[in-house]
Structures are given as C-alpha cells and as structure tokens.
C-alpha cells in the first residue's frame, strides 16, 4: 500500500498501525534523543503543558520547564536505554490544576514521555493493588477455563466499570468467539458470537503480543498530529498509551454504538490466545493505575488458563481410557459387535467430540445420532474407496467427488477401521460449523453503519465468518486424534483376539 493511499477494507492488514503519526487527544507526547534533546512532540503539547511559547527543535530537556521529577525520570530512562529497551514507568505530576499520569519509556534509542490527563480522582495506588489482589485470588480458585473466564470478565467489569466486558478467544483458524461476558442488562448479549480472523488483522495481533493493553477513550476524537524535524522517520508508537488507532477499527466500534473501548491481551507461550475486550456506550477513560491492575490480572489469567487447559486435556485422555475399556468388553464378550459398539456410542461421541456415530460391521450399519438415512448411506459408501485405517475429513471437499452433496451438513468425518476382515468401521461425524452457530443478534439494531458500509458491523462480521467456514466442520483437534488412535489400536488387538477365538471355535 502506498503510504498516502487511504485505508480500506481490502488493505487494512497493511495499515502500519504502530506509526500513525498522531495520538489521541487526552494527553501529549514529548520525544527525546540520546542527548536528552527534544526531537518531536504532539502539537497539543504547548497548550496542555502550559508552555509560554512553542518548543524549539533540539531544545535541551532542562530548558523546557518540566517538573524536576520528570526530568530525572527521562535521564534515568536514557541511561537504561544504553542497554537496549527501557520499559514504561509512571509518575504522577500536576500542571496548573490538571493531574497527569506521566508515563515514560524508551524504544529504539528514543525516550518517549506521555502526559496522560487524569479526569477523575483515582483511588490511591494501594487501593488498586488491593483490588488486583482480590481479583487474582478469585481467579486462582476457578476449576475450569470457562469458570475462570467468567470470573475474569466480572472482575474487570467491577474494577473498570465498562458497560460490556467480554472474553474473546481465538480458534485454530484465527477466527474468534465470545466465550464469556459481563454486561449491562439492557445490552444485547454477544456471548457465543463468532468473528472472522480479519476483524483483528495480523499486524494488530503482532502488536498486541508485545503491548498487551490499549484504550480508546472517545470514538469521536480528533487525532492530534506529531511535529518535529521535517522528513524524520515517523515515531514508532508500539508501546505508547496515547497511540491513535486505526480509523477502520474506530468505524467498526462506532457502528456498534461503542464510544470507548479497552482490550487486554491474553498471551500464552508467546501467542495471542485471546483478549478481554471492553466496551462503553459513552466516552470513558480508565486511569493508568487501574489499567496496570487489569494487565497484571490478564497475566495471571493467562498462566491459569494454560495450566487448566493442560489439566482439561489430561482429564479428557483419562476419560477416553475408561471408554476404551468398555469398548473392549463389547468387542471381546458380546456376540453382536455392532450392537455392542452402539451401546457405547454416546461415550465414544463424547470422547471424540463428535455429534453422531455410525457403526459398520459385517455389512450391518447402526446409527447413533440425528443423521438422515441418505447421509448414512453416503458415509458408508464413501468408505469403499478408502484403504487406510484412519480417515480424516473436515470439509465437503475432503469427500469423494460423487458424494460431496450427499453427505449433507455432516461434512466432518473421522473413520476408524477397527476390523478390516469384517469391514468394521466406526464413523464419527461432525456438522458444518454454521449449522451449530446461528446469528443471535437482533437485526433491527444492527443496521447503522458508516462510510465503509455494513461489513464493519457485527452482522457483517458474522456474514464474513460464515463465508470463511461454509462447508467446513470444526477440524479434528490433535487431542481428539490422539484419543482416536489409541482407541483404534486397542480395537485392532481385540478384533484379532476375536477372530482367533472364532477360528478356534470353528476348528
Ligand atoms: C483492532 N479489532 C481490534 C481490536 C478488537 C477487535 C478487540 C482491539 C482494539 C480494541 O481494544 O478495541 C475486534 N472487538 C473486536 C471484535 C469484537 C470486539 C471482533 O469487541 C466483538 C465483539 N476490523 C474489522 C475489519 C478490519 C479491522 C473488517 O472488523 C479491517 C479490514 C481492522 N481491527 C482492525 C484494526 C485494528 C483492529 C486495523 C487495530 C486497531 C489499533 O490498535 O490501531
């Protein structure tokens, strides 16, 4: 994308959001070079910091009349920068009657000083530490990922007062789902909604891994441009709190009636696992200290999610072992294998995360689940052309061409051939994702949109998501595939034993 070309729906993944060249107006930025000289500033700085005259380029930090504590912090930051990066630190300062949170960090050889206006009397830092502590204690008590996220959105809503707080979780294909929500009663529920990967483009995800919190205080804001040396490279604002955000995203939120937003990354093993996303229907800013409390909480949340996910996977494999035992009993001790396996069908489905199961054995076919007869026939027929013991299909295009329509909405299939001699197959089936997820919003509330049209609305997002997953079931997850292979291995052994017993009986 040419730097001057406008951002559109088609090129928004190329928008360099870390160098917007402007900030949000609820504060001002000063930038210093390695000799503590002023190299750049936001054009609102003179007014906000009450300077008698506009600043002179390359003015020394001592000549600007800044608070002594701030100057000291800038010098300390410069020192730290000599070893690379200098993470943010904050001090409170007052200019005239205005309170500021002054946040200083070093990046790529520059010291960036952000004066963020504080509108409300914030509680003392000690109160925040206490609130964060309480929230974290609650989080640590949760026994499942679902309960953990439900608790997290409640805590964040209590601490920040946002109208809506959601846990937004990314799936294998980078699409997202709202998996927990705390909201004002009068708002539409968003729980369960799906969004395409493109709603949070790749460069934004990358940025959100390294900088885990962002806030837009007022969607109606007018960006404040930066000033400084003509032709200088634009300031890298990756770690700035005042960074002006993508106009596309602002339009998206405004279309939803959102006037302020904040989101916090949930990063696990260096990957963006999800976000806590907050909306407010009126402009709203949350003081830096509260944001940091939320950020700490999100880190504890990430660690807890990781350990609970490990535990949940272990529980799943343990339950699968029990299912295996019962399946073995049917194979070894029941005369009618198809009937025996069908008796375990609900457990097998559960264990594989399938919606239905077809059992084939010696020409007999038994179905567990709401699968129409013609679909069963198609699934059975499609096994004829397979000569492996594990068949994995997640999409319509994975089926033999002639049967792609006949499989209906049951496009996901995991076929396990447990007894080749008896043409014995277990066919676990999954429905198309769109069959399982339906639009839950009220259409009349979703019609407002801005210049870029209806794509940037929840409804537009849902339609886009549908497009990307049409004819696809949820892919079989690595844990489920492992469980399937373990089940199959034991079934092979049992089948061999069974054939040997039959041979002996016949001899
Ligand atoms: C950023 N998109 C974001 C962010 C969220 C979402 C949470 C982080 C910024 C923030 O905290 O507000 C997406 N927000 C959602 C979703 C929900 C929500 C899905 O509340 C669901 C309830 N966005 C689009 C499209 C494009 C796009 C179509 O929908 C591009 C074509 C771009 N989204 C976009 C960009 C950013 C973004 C560029 C980065 C904003 C920034 O940090 O500058």
H or E segment at 30? strand 27-32
* Ligand 1 binding pocket includes 15 (Cβ within 6 Å): yes
CATH of 310-506, one of 3.40.720.10, 3.40.50.2300, 3.30.450.270, 3.60.20.10: 3.30.450.270
Q: How far apart are CA 374 and CA 476, in angstroms?
A: 24
Residue 154 confidence (pLDDT) above 80 = yes
- In the reported structure, the alpha carbon of residue 199 is separated from the centroid of ligand 1 by a whole-number distance in angstroms of 5
Closest-lying ligand 1 atom to the alpha carbon of residue 455: 28
| Joined tokens for residue 129 | 């530490």
Provide the β-strand partners of residue 145.
none
Banded model confidence at residue 321, pLDDT cuts 50, 70, 90:
very high
Tell me what pLDDT residue 19 has.
96
* Ligand 1 binding pocket includes 200 (Cβ within 6 Å): yes
Pocket test for ligand 1, best of 1, 167, 252, 463 (most atoms within 8 A of CB): 252
Q: How far apart are CA 446 and CA 115, in angstroms?
A: 37
Pocket test for ligand 1, best of 200, 212, 237, 276 (most atoms within 8 A of CB): 200
Q: What is the mean pLDDT of residues 215-242?
A: 95
What is the b/e burial string over 196-213, where b = at least 16 CB atoms within 10 angstroms of the residue's CB?
bbbbbbebbbebbeebbb
Q: What is the mean pLDDT of residues 87-94?
A: 95
Tell me what pLDDT residue 125 has.
64
Banded model confidence at residue 2, pLDDT cuts 50, 70, 90:
low
Residue 115 per-residue DSSP state: E
* Cα 308 from chain centroid (whole Å): 17
Residue 62 per-residue DSSP state: G
* Domain parsing of the chain, residue ranges: 27-118, 310-506
Most confident of 120-124, 140-144, 461-465: 140-144
* Ligand 1 binding pocket includes 261 (Cβ within 6 Å): yes
- In the reported structure, the alpha carbon of residue 200 is separated from the centroid of ligand 1 by a whole-number distance in angstroms of 5
Q: Is 419 exposed, middle or buried (0-12, 13-18, 19+ CB in 10 A)?
A: buried
Q: Do domains 27-118 and 310-506 have the same CATH topology?
A: yes
Kindly report which listed range (71-75, 136-140, 270-274, 425-429) carries the lowest average pLDDT score: 136-140
**DSSP-derived secondary structure for 475-488:** PPPHHHHHHHHHHH
Q: What is the mean pLDDT of residues 19-31?
A: 97
* Ligand 1 binding pocket includes 248 (Cβ within 6 Å): yes
Closest-lying ligand 1 atom to the alpha carbon of residue 195: 19
Respond yes or no on whether ipTM tops 0.90.
yes
Residue 188 confidence (pLDDT) above 60 = yes
- In the reported structure, the alpha carbon of residue 456 is separated from the centroid of ligand 1 by a whole-number distance in angstroms of 10
CATH of 27-118, one of 1.20.1530.20, 3.30.450.20, 3.40.50.2300, 1.10.940.10: 3.30.450.20
Ligand 1 atom 1 nearest Cα: 200
Ligand 1 atom 38 nearest Cα: 246
Q: Identify each DSSP E strand in 153-231 by its residue range.
A: 164-170, 176-183, 194-195, 213-216, 224-228
């Amino acid at each position: 994308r040419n730097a001057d070309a406008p951002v559109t729906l088609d090129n928004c993944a190329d928008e360099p959001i870390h160098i917007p060249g402007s900030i949000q107006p609820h504060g001002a930025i000063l930038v210093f070079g390695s000799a503590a000289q002023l190299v750049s500033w936001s054009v609102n700085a003179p007014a906000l910091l009450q300077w008698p005259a506009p600043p002179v380029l390359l003015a020394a930090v001592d000549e600007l009349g800044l608070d002594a504590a701030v100057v000291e912090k800038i010098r300390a930051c410069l020192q730290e920068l000599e070893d690379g990066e200098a993470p943010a630190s904050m001090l409170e300062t007052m200019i005239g009657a205005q309170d500021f949170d002054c946040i200083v960090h070093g990046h790529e050889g520059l010291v960036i000083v952000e004066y963020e206006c504080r509108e409300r009397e914030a509680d003392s830092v000690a109160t925040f530490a206490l609130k964060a502590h309480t929230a974290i204690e609650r989080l640590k008590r949760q026994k499942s990922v679902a309960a953990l996220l439900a608790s997290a959105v409640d805590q964040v809503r209590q601490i920040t007062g946002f109208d809506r707080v959601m846990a937004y979780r990314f799936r294998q294909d980078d699409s997202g789902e709202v998996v927990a929500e705390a909201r004002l009663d009068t708002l539409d529920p968003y729980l369960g909604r799906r969004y395409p990967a493109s709603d949070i483009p790749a460069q934004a995800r990358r940025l959100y891994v390294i900088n885990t919190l962002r806030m837009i205080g007022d969607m109606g804001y007018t960006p404040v441009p930066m000033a400084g040396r003509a032709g200088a490279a634009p300031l890298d604002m990756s770690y700035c709190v005042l960074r002006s955000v993508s106009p596309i995203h602002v339009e998206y939120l405004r279309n939803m009636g959102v006037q302020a937003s904040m989101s916090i990354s949930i990063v696990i093993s260096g990957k963006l696992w999800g976000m806590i996303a907050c909306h407010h229907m009126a402009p709203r800013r949350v003081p830096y200290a509260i944001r940091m409390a939320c950020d700490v909480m999100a880190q504890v949340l990430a660690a807890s999610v990781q350990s609970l996910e490990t535990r949940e996977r272990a529980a799943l494999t343990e339950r699968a072992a029990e299912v295996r035992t019962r399946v073995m009993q049917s194979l070894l001790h029941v005369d009618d294998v198809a009937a025996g396996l069908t008796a375990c069908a609900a457990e097998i489905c559960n264990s594989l995360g399938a919606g239905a199961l077809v059992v084939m054995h010696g020409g007999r076919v038994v179905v567990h689940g709401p699968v129409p007869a013609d679909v069963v026939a198609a699934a059975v027929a499609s096994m004829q052309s397979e000569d492996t013991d594990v068949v994995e299909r997640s999409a319509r295009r994975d089926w033999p061409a002639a049967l792609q329509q006949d499989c209906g909405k049951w496009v996901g299939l995991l076929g396990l051939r447990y007894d080749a001699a008896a043409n014995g197959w277990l066919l676990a089936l999954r429905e198309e994702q769109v069959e399982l997820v339906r639009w839950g919003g009220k259409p009349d509330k979703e019609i407002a949109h801005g210049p870029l049209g209806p794509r940037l609305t929840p409804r537009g997002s849902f339609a886009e998501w549908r497009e990307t997953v049409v004819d696809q079931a949820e892919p079989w997850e690595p844990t489920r595939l492992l469980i399937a292979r373990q089940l199959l291995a034991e079934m092979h052994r049992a089948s061999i034993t069974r054939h040997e017993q039959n041979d002996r009986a016949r001899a």
